[in-house]
Every structure is written in C-alpha cells, then in structure tokens.
C-alpha cells in the first residue's frame, strides 16, 4: 500500500472562519450546523416502538 505525502501547503485553515463579514460568518455557521446535523441524522438508528 502506498501512502501519499501530505501537501506542502494545507488546503484548509483549521477552525478559522473564511468569511470576513458578520453576515457571511453567520451564513457559514448555519450551513456548517445544517451539514453536521444531517450527518448525525444519517448515523442515528431509526427506531420504532413495538407494543
């Protein structure tokens, strides 16, 4: 198995927001929260109550 070396310049900026204005930051946070919630929903089992 071959492992590719890490890029010399990282693609992301860590936890920093890329948007500079407050409005754009609010939108970026809303999108990130929606994406995270959707990923968590995919991992949550669908349960049905059996009586």
Region 10-35: what's the mean pLDDT?
82
Percent of the chain with pLDDT over 70: 75
For 31-51, give one letter per residue: b (16+ CB within 10 A) or e.
eeeeeeeeeeeeeeeeeeeee
Region 16-44: what's the mean pLDDT?
89
Query: From residue 21, how far is each of 12, 15, 26, 49 by CA, in Å?
Result: 19, 16, 9, 47
């Amino acid at each position: 198995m071959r492992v590719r070396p890490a890029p010399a310049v990282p693609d992301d900026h860590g936890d920093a927001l890329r948007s500079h204005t407050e409005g754009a930051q609010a939108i970026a946070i809303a999108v990130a929260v929606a994406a995270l919630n959707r990923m968590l929903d995919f991992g949550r089992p669908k349960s049905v109550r059996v009586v």
